[in-house]
Amino acid sequence: MQKEEKIRTIKKLSIVIPVYFNEENLYPLYDSLKSEVFDKVDYECEVIMVNDGSKDSSWEIIQELAGRDGRIRGLSLSRNFGSHAAILCGLSHAAGDCAVVKAADLQEPASMILEMVNEWEKGNNVVLAVREGREESRSQTAFANLYYGIVRKFALPNMPKTGFDVYLVDRKVIDVLDKLDERNSALTGQILWSGFKTKEVRYVRLAREAGKSRWTLRKKVRLVMDTLFSFSSVPVTIVSTVGVCSFLGALVWAVVEAVLRLNDVIVVEGWTMLFIFNLGSFGITMLTLGIIGEYLWRTFDAGRNRPPYIVEDETAEK
């Protein structure tokens, strides 16, 4: 399909964009959506920009864009709840027959939204924008490939090899995500877990030209943990495996020591080996308690039934 060609009419398309310290990107983002999406389709559109506790001018710019164009709607959260909560907030407020989730950093071309909608119209409930290349540093690419490799092997085998951040979900999937109401999880994992009919489109992830990425190492590690704890039994398997190996090692050691003592071969030794053994045992115990504690904390956090996000302000509807 040619990019200039209009696709057939659908009722309404929602575009959800989480915003976190993106003041330099919002005007170019709006211009790209207008030229690549709004001006090339003949159906109703809405853009929901969710300010995820940004401390820069992002919310003021969103308000200005909403006042300029009635298709823009802004929601501002009371603090930074994370991209998972911000996207869920946008999807919960979306009125479209389908919704596209897109980042605000301009690293994904807006034109691919048309390709995704076209695939949705063919009967696919989910359309994933899968990266076929990256204009990014080797460290960023290496971490991304490592993360998606771990997810494919231990949690979600249907995860694309190069992963995805941008996706389209139809109304059925939006309703399911809203009902799941899972905290400390990953929406991308929930989408794959749901098992709806899925199609992929390909794109090259562009280099970031404006602003600074807030995707810190801490957040990356947290994403790995959220994915594994939510969609895999690997953490529990690790605890069980370490426990079994420790027990078998201690049993073999005890037998060897007993045989040596019975044959008067053993000699009085220093404390080095005993100290190393105790230190290793203590580390294994703390690892086990840490994994169990992570599950307990997640259970406690879910049991408190706090909302995943709090909307502090929103732009007036036109």
Q: Is residue 111 part of a domain?
A: yes
Per-10-residue mean pLDDT, the chain, length 318 = 46 93 92 89 89 93 94 95 90 93 89 92 93 69 80 87 89 90 80 92 77 68 80 80 77 76 65 67 80 82 82 83
Domain hosting 69: range is 12-232+306-314
pTM here is 0.79
* Res 308: pLDDT: 86
Distant-in-sequence contacts of 279-282, Cβ < 8 A, 24+ apart = 281/246
Q: Is residue 154 part of a domain?
A: yes
Q: Is residue 241 part of a domain?
A: no
Q: Is residue 273 part of a domain?
A: no
Return the number of other C-beta atoms located less than 10 Å from residue 215's C-beta: 15
* Res 137: pLDDT: 66
Q: Is residue 284 part of a domain?
A: no
Q: Is residue 267 part of a domain?
A: no
* Res 95: pLDDT: 92
Q: Which H or E run includes 18?
A: strand 12-19
DSSP state of 8: P
Q: How many domains does the chain have?
A: 1
Q: Is residue 238 part of a domain?
A: no
* Res 33: pLDDT: 93
Rounded distance, CA 192 to CA 199, Å?
11
* Res 49: pLDDT: 97
- Output the domain CATH number for residue 174: 3.90.550.10
* Res 71: pLDDT: 94
Q: Is residue 62 part of a domain?
A: yes
Distant-in-sequence contacts of 62-67, Cβ < 8 A, 24+ apart = 62/19, 62/26, 62/315, 63/315, 65/26, 65/27, 65/30, 66/315, 66/316, 67/315
* Res 78: pLDDT: 94
Return the number of other C-beta atoms located less than 10 Å from residue 234's C-beta: 16
